[in-house]
Amino acid sequence: MKSNRDMRELLPFAFATTLTTVCSSMEIAAEPINGLVLASDLKWEQLNPARGDRSPKAATLWGDRKGAVPTGFLAKFVDGFSSPPHIHNVTYRAVVISGGIHNDDPNAAAMWMPAGSFWTQPKGEVHITAAKGKNNVALVEIDKGPYLVLPVDKTFDSGERPINLDASNIVWVDPPGTSAASNGPKVAYLWGSQQDGQSNGTFIKLPTGFTGKIQSAGSTFRAVVIKGQSQYQVSETEVKRLEPGSYFSSMGSSIHIVSSISEEESILYIHTNGSYEIMSN
C-alpha cells in the first residue's frame, strides 16, 4: 500500500460536533420524509456501458450521476472484478456495504476492505477497483456530477489525497456531552465539519434492540443503511424494514424514528450539513 493512503487524516477528534444522545419518548416526525428507497426496490443499470457485460451495476439512491447535481448510488461488482487503470473527473467518497473491495494505485498491494470500510478517490488520480466475494456492493457519493470514467492519459493532480479506512480501524466514540455507555449508540467521524451549514459524513452505530429517533438540524439529511436491519416509522400506522442499501432523507429540520431489529448492531452512514441528535427511547 502506498504511503499516500494516510489514515492519519481521519483522526476523529479533529472534528467538532454538537451531537448528543438524550433520553426521550418516541415522537412522530414533525415533517414528512422527503425520500425513502428500499433496497428491494432498486433499479440496476450498467455503471460503465463502454465495458458492456463486464461493467459493474449501479442503482441511484438520490440525484443523477449523469447530471451536475449531488448524487448517491450503489455500485455492484461481480466476484473477481478488476478494472483497468482509469481516472474519474470528480472526487467520490465510498462505503463498503458487502463483500470485499480493493481501490488503490495500480501497483499497490491488495487491501480488501470489508463491509463498513470507508474510502475516498480524488478526481484525476489513476487507480484500479477490484472486488472479491459473492455480493460486492458499495455506496458511492459525489458532490456534483456528471460521474465519468476516463483513460489514464487524462490524469491530473487535484491536490487532494486518497484515504482507505478499513472497518477494523474505525474509531467509535460516545457522543460528546454524554457519559460512556458500552451499550449505547456510537458515532464515528469520517469527513467534514459538524458546524451549522457545513457538510459532513459520519457513521452511527445503533445497538441491538435500540428504539428511538434521529433529530436533524441541517437543511439536508441523508442516511444509508450499511449493516444490520433497521425499521423506519413512516407514519403512525406504517413501518418499513430497511435492509443494507436502503436510504431515507429529509429537507429542513426533521425527526426520523428508527429501531435496530437484527441480532447484530445496525450501522448507518449519515450525510448532512449540520448537527443531529440520537434520542434513545
Domains along the sequence of the chain with CATH: 18-37+171-280 (2.60.120.10), 42-168 (2.60.120.10)
Are 124 and 157 in contact by the 8 Å Cβ rule? The answer is: yes
Set of cell numbers at residue 153: 492519459
CA distance 116 to 91: 20
Radius of gyration of the chain (CA): 18
- Per-residue pLDDT, averaged over 262-277, amounts to 93
Are 80 and 132 in contact by the 8 Å Cβ rule? The answer is: yes
- Per-residue pLDDT, averaged over 203-214, amounts to 94
pLDDT in tens, 7-66: 444 444 344 344 444 333 333 333 445 789 999 999 999 998 888 888 899 999 999 999
Cα pseudo-dihedral 113, 114, 117, 118, rounded to 10 = 50
**Sequence-distant (≥ 6) Cβ neighbours of residue 280 within 8 angstroms:** 21, 22, 23, 24, 184, 185, 210, 211, 212
Of the candidates 245, 31, 239, 30, the one whose C-alpha atom is nearest the C-alpha of residue 136 is 245
State how beta strands 118-121 and 163-165 pair.
antiparallel
Of the candidates 151, 139, 44, 72, the one whose C-alpha atom is nearest the C-alpha of residue 101 is 139
- Per-residue pLDDT, averaged over 87-96, amounts to 98
Is a pLDDT exceeding 80 seen at residue 4?
no
pLDDT for 96 equals: 99
Is a pLDDT exceeding 90 seen at residue 91?
yes
Please state, for a pLDDT cut of 90, what percent of the chain lies above it: 73
Question: End-to-end alpha-carbon separation of the chain, Å?
Answer: 44
Find the angle CA(254)-CA(199)-CA(121) to the nearest 5 degrees: 130
pLDDT for 97 equals: 99
pLDDT in tens, 160-196: 999 999 999 999 998 765 677 778 899 999 999 888 8
Confidence of residue 230 (pLDDT cuts 50, 70, 90): very high
- Per-residue pLDDT, averaged over 253-261, amounts to 94
Q: What is the mean pLDDT of the chain?
A: 88
